[in-house]
Amino acid sequence: MLGKVPSTELQDTLRGIKGVSAVVFDGSIGKDLVISAERAGVKTLVAMDSKIKPTDTRLNLLTMSSF
């Protein structure tokens, strides 16, 4: 576990680290975050909601509606 990172810094943080399997955050999954997560090798994004369709990425996207 990395710890708490402000959502405004999440994309920059992902660019600087490798080996992250999942990211959980209180926000909405957007295109830029998906791109950063894919490049960082993240497998799963968990968030409140998503502006991205699960079929538009190779990531596993989980939102409140998933539960």
> Residue 24: which domain range?
10-66
44 in a structural domain? yes
Residue 23 lies in a domain: yes
pLDDT at 1: 66
Q: Which residues, at least 6 apart from 20, have a Cβ–Cβ distance to it below 8 Å?
A: 2, 14, 40, 41, 42
How much is the average pLDDT of 50-59?
Answer: 95
Residues 18-53 pLDDT 10s: 788 999 989 999 999 999 999 999 999 999 999 999
Does some domain include residue 2? no
Give pTM, 2 decimals: 0.86
Tokens of 10: 């999440």
Structural domains of the chain, count: 1
